Amino acid sequence: MVLDVDVRPVLTWGPTICACRSAAPRRSSCPTARAVFLDRDGTLIVDRPYQARPEAIEILPTVFEGLRLLADAGYLLIIVTNQSGIARGYFGTRALRRFHDHLGKIFADHGIRIAAFYYCPHHIAGRRPELARPCNCRKPAPGMLFRAARDWGIDLGRSWLIGDMPTDAEAALAGGCSPILVGPERARGDRRWTVVATFEEAARWITQDGGSDCAILRRVPE
């Protein structure tokens, strides 16, 4: 008898973690994991400022294809996202968690596991006094990368960050990762990072061109 069932393993997704809260110190030996850190808004999903309703999620073109390439190449996939909407009082951490669970499920349904979602809720102009301050986790600072590296035993020098803004690339460089930016014209013109047209192209760049030697790249393709 042939059973007409879908036998793909059911994938799950990782937790939403405030990068700025101190974590239990990890006694890991030499970090060996490789990660691709992923900016969220404008890189994976359409950027709708301060939006935390799951219904508003719209995955950008070629993101599924690109993430599959990266996962198949053995990279941990970790989202790192500034969420000043929390400091500004637009939404809370529960709404953010719900949003990320929805996003994680969308990717899991496409065979892609997001290992974790790190966020920084701070902003100097926030309305919530306890969150209205500068933070080393808010990109372009590299705190989120350091926190994730500690949690997962990641070798930052063999890891990448895909984003859409120069601030993403600055965070990567400050953290010792190689940056790639997708798309916008405003990202061009700085030779310290690579700029490509689509997310899938960024993934191909990592898995084919750059994967063998993950030093910080300075080539800007035409």
Binding site for Zn ion (CB under 5 A): 20, 120, 122, 135, 137
Q: How far apart are CA 154 and CA 176, in angstroms?
A: 11
Site string for Mg ion, 40-59 (x = CB under 5 A): -xx-----------------
Q: Which is nearer to Mg ion, 33 or 114 (CB)?
A: 114
Q: How many helices (H) and strands (E) does the chain have?
A: 6, 7
Site for Mg ion in 164-183 (CB under 5 A): 164
Size of the site for Mg ion (CB under 5 A): 4
Least Å distance between CB 94 and Zn ion?
18
Q: Which does 42 bind (CB under 5 to 8 A by kind): Mg ion, Zn ion, none?
A: Mg ion
Residue 41 falls in the annotated catalytic set: yes
Per-residue CA distances from 16 to 13, 40, 104, 163, 168 (Å):
10, 13, 10, 19, 19
Q: Which is nearer to Zn ion, 93 or 198 (CB)?
A: 93
Q: How far apart are CA 119 and CA 17, in angstroms?
A: 6
39 touches Mg ion (CB under 5 A): yes
Q: Which does 78 bind (CB under 5 to 8 A by kind): Zn ion, Mg ion, none?
A: none
Sign of CA dihedral 92, 87, 170, 19: negative
Least Å distance between CB 78 and Mg ion?
15
Nearest to 79, CA basis, from 103, 106, 108: 103
Residue 39 falls in the annotated catalytic set: yes
Q: Which is nearer to Zn ion, 145 or 196 (CB)?
A: 145
Looking at residue 157, the DSSP 8-state letter turns out to be G
Q: Which does 200 bind (CB under 5 to 8 A by kind): Mg ion, Zn ion, none?
A: none
Nearest to 18, CA basis, from 140, 149, 148: 148
Q: Which does 41 bind (CB under 5 to 8 A by kind): Mg ion, Zn ion, none?
A: Mg ion
Hey, is 101 helix, strand or coil?
helix
- Which of 4, 41, 164, 190 is catalytic? The answer is 41
Written as one letter, the residue type at 57 is I
Tokens of 222: 């035409």
Chain residues binding Mg ion by CB under 5 A are 39, 41-42, 164
Catalytic sites, residue numbers:
39, 41
